[in-house]
């Protein structure tokens, strides 16, 4: 998932970015609301984490403008961060369009859990486990697998683990969140790298190929859509 972090404190931003990157997010960081507005007018993000105490335009005003302007990511979930524990700040932030808030200092696991909840809500998902066919991706437990048919006397079939690398995980998560609709190659690249273009568009095909070889034995195909991207489909024998 591609995340925009708006935080003016370099040390705080570095810590958050490191933790979120380790969790599989592609994190782009800006230090002001003004720069965030410039970026969001041109590029799309899956979620934004915005500090209230920004210089110039503060985080509350930035959130209000995001909800009222024609920005690329107008409907994206927004989580605000604040060192203020005042009720009015929290109320105002939610009234002006924020989806959730956290008060500093906070623990990284809680931030990750709240971000997962926001993503599920934005994608109309009700569980931390994403499914397609027999494929399951537990975003909270960081486990991927294929659910086997239950044997006699079993309520639920066993989960056969699928070993995924970090970028394979990101590709599969993005595909599952979009399924059955296709995901564009450009969006996948952004979800993998953000502004830190460590891989090329052609390299996306490498991760897709690796992922395809791990899904097809379980009856799930990863189809290429020429000129656009990729889509998960059930193979005929899995129907």
Per-residue pLDDT reduced to its tens digit, 175-213: 998 888 898 888 888 778 776 666 677 888 888 999 999
**How high is the pLDDT of residue 72?**
66
How far is residue 235's CA from residue 220's CA, in Å, rounded to a whole number? 6
How far is residue 122's CA from residue 125's CA, in Å, rounded to a whole number? 8
Per-residue pLDDT reduced to its tens digit, 161-178: 999 988 899 899 889 988
User: How far lies 186's CA from each of 55, 147, 201, in Å?
Assistant: 33, 30, 8
pTM for this one?
0.71
**How high is the pLDDT of residue 150?**
79
**How high is the pLDDT of residue 233?**
94
Give the residue ranges of the chain where pLDDT is below 50: none
User: Interior CA angle at 219 toward 215 and 224, to 5°?
Assistant: 60
Average pLDDT taken over every residue of the chain: 86
**How high is the pLDDT of residue 62?**
94
**How high is the pLDDT of residue 57?**
95
């Amino acid at each position: 998932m591609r995340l925009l972090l708006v935080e003016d404190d370099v040390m705080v931003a570095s810590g958050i970015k490191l933790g979120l990157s380790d969790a599989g997010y592609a994190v782009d960081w800006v230090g002001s609301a003004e720069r965030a507005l410039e970026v969001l007018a041109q590029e799309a993000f899956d979620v934004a984490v915005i500090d209230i105490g920004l210089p110039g335009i503060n985080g509350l005003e930035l959130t209000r403008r995001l909800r009222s302007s024609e920005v690329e990511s107008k409907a994206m979930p927004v989580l605000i961060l604040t060192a203020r524990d005042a009720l009015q700040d929290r109320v105002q932030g939610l009234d002006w369009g924020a989806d959730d808030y956290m008060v500093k200092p906070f623990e990284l696991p809680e931030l990750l859990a709240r971000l997962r909840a926001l993503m599920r809500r934005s994608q109309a998902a009700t569980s931390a486990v994403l499914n397609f066919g027999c494929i399951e991706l537990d975003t909270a437990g960081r486990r991927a697998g294929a659910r086997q048919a239950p044997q006699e006397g079993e309520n639920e079939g066993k989960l056969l683990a699928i070993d995924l690398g970090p970028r394979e995980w990101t590709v599969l998560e993005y595909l599952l969140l979009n399924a059955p609709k296709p995901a564009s190659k450009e969006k996948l690249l952004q979800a993998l790298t953000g502004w830190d273009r460590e891989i090329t568009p052609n390299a996306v095909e490498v991760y897709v190929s690796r992922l395809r070889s791990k899904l097809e034995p379980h009856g799930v195909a990863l189809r290429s859509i020429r000129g656009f991207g990729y889509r998960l489909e059930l193979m005929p024998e899995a129907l």
